Chains A and B, each alone.
Chain A
Amino acid sequence: ELKVEQNPLFLSMQEGKNYTIYCNYSTTSDRLYWYRQDPGKSLESLFVLLSNGAVKQEGRLMASLDTKARLSTLHITAAVHDLSATYFCAVDVRAAGNKLTFGGGTRVLVKP
């Protein structure tokens, strides 16, 4: 059974500082996704990582994938209040029929 674990579960950030969220998964995956969820809202796609060594960046967020270590990281550079949200990673395994298995989420709160 595929397991996806995120840590930390909660991250209190100070504006202007850098932080990293980690996502570990238990079996070989074909694609790794990062989503953002604001309170009471649905899931907003941030990144899709397709291969080992993939790195994608959008604004203050950068995601990377190490398939050998079965690890993805979401790096936040110079945190700002607007980044407060819950971040989920999800894994998609083609052999399992293309469905997303989610981690438990990391709740991020950026304080002034």
Chain B
Amino acid sequence: EAGVAQSPRYKIIEKRQSVAFWCNPISGHATLYWYQQILGQGPKLLIQFQNNGVVDDSQLPKDRFSAERLKGVDSTLKIQPAKLEDSAVYLCASARGVLNYGYTFGSGTRLTVV
């Protein structure tokens, strides 16, 4: 089974620029998550999708972050405009369903905002 694919692997942008990350979950996995991992910390959930609907976006800074999952498969996470404190690794994870307990993480996108 192919894993969770993310791109790009690395991104360096200047503050106030915009950036987008892409995630392709494991085929058949209905639930998709975006996590933010700041250096030296544990991952923090930004948004959870069930198919193409949002289940939880309570910790998503909605003034600058947006995410979508069209057709319930791929997802994109966008930051506009970026701030220095957005420098982090953005991890995408997927799970088969809400009641499933197997989470698979992608390799992440490392964002540096300068």
Instruction: Verify if B42 is at the interface (C-beta below 8 Å from A).
Output: yes
Given contacts A42-B105, A42-B107, contact A101 B99 (CB under 8 A): no
Q: Please name all residues of chain A whose beta carbon is closer than 8 Å to the beta carbon of B48 when the two chains form the complex.
A: 97, 99
Q: Please name all residues of chain B whose beta carbon is closer than 8 Å to the beta carbon of A98 when the two chains form the complex.
A: 31, 95, 98-101
Closest to B48 in A: A99
Closest to A105 in B: B42
Cα-based distance from A87 to B107 in the complex (angstroms): 16
Task: Tell me the A residues contacting B by CB distance below 8 Å.
Answer: 4, 30-31, 33, 40-43, 45, 48, 50, 88, 90, 92, 94, 97-105
Give the shortest distance, in Å, between A26 (CB) and chain B (any CB): 15
Closest to B95 in A: A98
Instruction: Verify if B44 is at the interface (C-beta below 8 Å from A).
Output: yes
Q: Mind listing 18 A-B residue pairs with CB under 8 Å?
A: A4-B42, A42-B91, A42-B105, A42-B106, A45-B103, A48-B101, A94-B99, A97-B48, A97-B55, A98-B99, A98-B100, A99-B45, A99-B55, A100-B45, A100-B93, A103-B42, A104-B42, A105-B42
Give the shortest distance, in Å, between A48 (CB) and chain B (any CB): 6
Q: Please name all residues of chain B whose beta carbon is closer than 8 Å to the beta carbon of A48 when the two chains form the complex.
A: 101-102
Give the shortest distance, in Å, between A40 (CB) and chain B (any CB): 8
Q: A43 contacts B45, CB within 8 Å?
A: no
1/0 per residue, CB under 8 A from A, across B72-101: the answer is 000000000000000000010101001111
A-B residue pairs, 6 tightest by C-beta: A102-B42, A43-B105, A42-B107, A42-B105, A98-B98, A104-B42
